[in-house]
Amino acid sequence: MSEAKSESKSVNLTKRAVYELRQRIIHGGLAGGTRLYEVALSEELQISRTPVREAMSRLAEEGLLERASGGGFQVRSFSYRDVTDAIELRGVLEGTAARLAAEQGADKTALAEIGAILDELDDCFAGEAGESLDFDRYSELNGQFHAKLAELCQSNVILRELERVKSLPFASPSAFVLGSQQTRRSLQSLVVAQAQHRALVQAIERREGVRAEAIAREHARIARANLEQTFITETQAPDSLPGIALITR
Amino acid sequence: MSEAKSESKSVNLTKRAVYELRQRIIHGGLAGGTRLYEVALSEELQISRTPVREAMSRLAEEGLLERASGGGFQVRSFSYRDVTDAIELRGVLEGTAARLAAEQGADKTALAEIGAILDELDDCFAGEAGESLDFDRYSELNGQFHAKLAELCQSNVILRELERVKSLPFASPSAFVLGSQQTRRSLQSLVVAQAQHRALVQAIERREGVRAEAIAREHARIARANLEQTFITETQAPDSLPGIALITR
DNA sequence: CGCCCGTGATTTGTATACATTCGGTGTATA
DNA sequence: TATACACCGAATGTATACAAATCACGGGCG
């Protein structure tokens, strides 16, 4: 137990390298477009080339790296348009999952669990004044909601692709909850978001597939609006958004 | 030139291994769920473990393999439902690409090229009697049509995920064109498909996004119908469908 | 002046030996 | 008879030496 450092579990070197690299990519140590050199990295991480290579390979599967022409890897870089599209794509996939769940009829137990999460989300708004929202808790529960929702359609294929899109840090459902903590507008957008959560679940319960799909898409567009807001207000913000270092061009 | 065997380009061993393994997976040498052992494979392919491992990693990115619990890889296996969902997902993604293209306004030149492909597709139906369709040519052109269509929305993110889904052999747009060569019904379904191609392009030209999306989804459902047909008529067919060996459970 | 080709350094590709881990099997003891 | 422990073997994980390919740079030639 004592060896569980914050960074490096001693499980195996590949996982350590994956973790290390992912941290650096998301938090800006390695900007979008940067090429990764095996030897340099292995010296820096004190790990031999083989597990480093393996780690890069896994991060490519994850979508954070891409294979460079002529071998090797580079940090994947995203244009503003790419980020927008990724959010739209998440909406499309969540919409599809919701529609399928509605069409097939969703499992009652799972729906009840989702309802419980929604109640807890409501509790986050407890303080009536504008300021007293528990952002961390909201973010956590929001993530759970979206995960459970995706499972409702019971489709491995859809779930898998959705996980893939969500693994892009800025396309995750909770990306902007933490990103824009300060503003009053962001609190209002959370109120709207929660209303959409309720409507979405209702649509699925009533087997209104088209409605469910439309709501899910619109729900994702809140993230898009928040993205625009983030880029307008604090142009050079450091950690206003996870993975902001990947966005270039 | 003389060393360009049918199987192994001498470029490098990783690519050779990727190619070899992909062939075996798609054509049934390695059934869905099979675990791949590095040593056995490297002996069999006469390639050392390192490039074999690398190849497996790439095939995992491609979606043909998955990482097994406790290390290593196994051939990904698909239930009938998974195949169905993959086709539906392709429809959803192509639909999104079409909608975005319609909303943004598609490039005239690209649209003209697509129109030319459609004309060529029409030519495939030249012989008036039921039998005289050039399936190979149709299949090739059909693939080109779908590729060009996806490019219309000019979105890297959408394109990338679409490529990913299409890389599953049975989810590719042309999977069933070759698969069901014999039947008269399949010829009819190609006529319907071509009509949908025209309608889809028209919708994009007229910037009718919702219509374009709906047509693209419906178009993919032809593949789904052909899938059902394939499974009804020839239950144990060997190569009636590329990648049929992946379908289990 | 520009282009092409060779050469060297840098970087990835490949082979292989050794380490580690996990699972199975058998035996011994309670 | 059941359980626990230890050993063995097979598989992946890791390190590293060597090979091959690629890129940048500079010199020679058209």
Q: Is the CB of B49 under 7 A from strand D?
A: yes
Task: Name the one residue in this structure whose structure tokens are 């840090």.
Answer: A169
- Both B151 and B233 in one domain: the answer is yes
- Both A97 and A159 in one domain: the answer is yes
- Both B103 and B178 in one domain: the answer is yes
Q: Is the CB of A35 under 7 A from strand C?
A: yes
Indicate whether A89 pLDDT > 90: yes
- Both A85 and A70 in one domain: the answer is no
In chain A, residues with a C-beta closer than 8 Å to the C-beta of B58 are: 57
Indicate whether A98 pLDDT > 80: yes
Residue B9 domain boundaries: 3-75
Question: What is chain A's mean pLDDT, rounded?
Answer: 87
Using CA coordinates, name the residue in chain B closest to A58: B57
Pick A11 or A24 by higher pLDDT.
Answer: A24
A4 confidence band (pLDDT: 50, 70, 90): very low
B35: helix, coil or strand? strand
Give nearest nucleotide to B54 (CA–C1'): C13
Taking the alpha carbons of B233, B249, A60, A227 in that order, is the dihedral positive or negative?
Answer: positive
Nucleotides of chain D within 7 Å of a protein C-beta? 11-17, 21-23
- Output the distance from A14 CA to D12 C1' rounded to whole Å: 12
Indicate whether A97 pLDDT > 90: yes
Nucleotides of chain C within 7 Å of a protein C-beta? 11-17, 21-23
Q: Inter-chain contact A96–B92, Cβ cutoff 8 Å?
A: yes
Give nearest nucleotide to A53 (CA–C1'): C12
- Both B63 and B94 in one domain: the answer is no
- Both B226 and B130 in one domain: the answer is yes
Q: Inter-chain contact B85–A158, Cβ cutoff 8 Å?
A: yes
Phi-psi domain of B168 (left: phi exceeds 0; alpha: psi -120 through 50; beta: other): beta
pTM: 0.90
Indicate whether A243 pLDDT > 60: yes
Closest C-alpha among A21, A171, A33 to residue A90 = A171
pLDDT at B214 (0 to 100) = 98
Closest C-alpha among A88, A228, A23 to residue B156 = A88
Question: Cα distance from B183 to chain A (closest Cα, Å)?
Answer: 30
Indicate whether A237 pLDDT > 60: no
- Among residues B37, B54, B75, the one where a domain terminates is B75
Torsion of CA A156, A159, A161, A165, to 10 degrees: -160
Reported as a single tens digit per residue, the pLDDT across A13-54 is 999 999 999 999 998 889 899 999 999 999 999 999 999 999
Pick A194 or A187 by higher pLDDT.
Answer: A194
Q: How many distinct structural domains can be found in chain A?
A: 2
Q: Inter-chain contact A82–B157, Cβ cutoff 8 Å?
A: yes
Q: Is the CB of B48 under 7 A from strand D?
A: no
Q: Inter-chain contact A81–B158, Cβ cutoff 8 Å?
A: no
Element (H, E) at A106: none
CA distance B83 to B223: 10
Give nearest nucleotide to A69 (CA–C1'): D22
What does the pLDDT average to over A186-191? 81
- Among residues A19, A46, A75, the one where a domain terminates is A75
Tens-digit pLDDT string for chain B (249 aa): 333 333 444 688 999 999 999 999 998 889 889 999 999 999 999 999 999 999 999 999 999 999 998 889 999 999 999 999 999 999 999 999 999 999 999 999 999 999 999 999 988 877 655 556 677 888 899 999 999 999 999 999 999 999 999 999 899 998 877 655 556 666 788 889 999 999 999 999 999 999 999 999 999 999 998 888 877 765 555 566 777 888 876
- Both A189 and A162 in one domain: the answer is yes
Reported as a single tens digit per residue, the pLDDT across A150-171 is 999 999 999 999 999 999 989 9
- Among residues A18, A50, A75, the one where a domain terminates is A75
- Both B71 and B111 in one domain: the answer is no
Q: Is the CB of A206 under 7 A from strand C?
A: no
- Both B133 and B51 in one domain: the answer is no
- Both B153 and B134 in one domain: the answer is yes
In chain A, residues with a C-beta closer than 8 Å to the C-beta of B92 are: 92-93, 96
What's the longest Cα–Cα distance across chain A? 58
CA distance A2 to B225: 58
- Both B118 and B211 in one domain: the answer is yes
DSSP B78: B
Using CA coordinates, name the residue in chain B closest to A213: B92
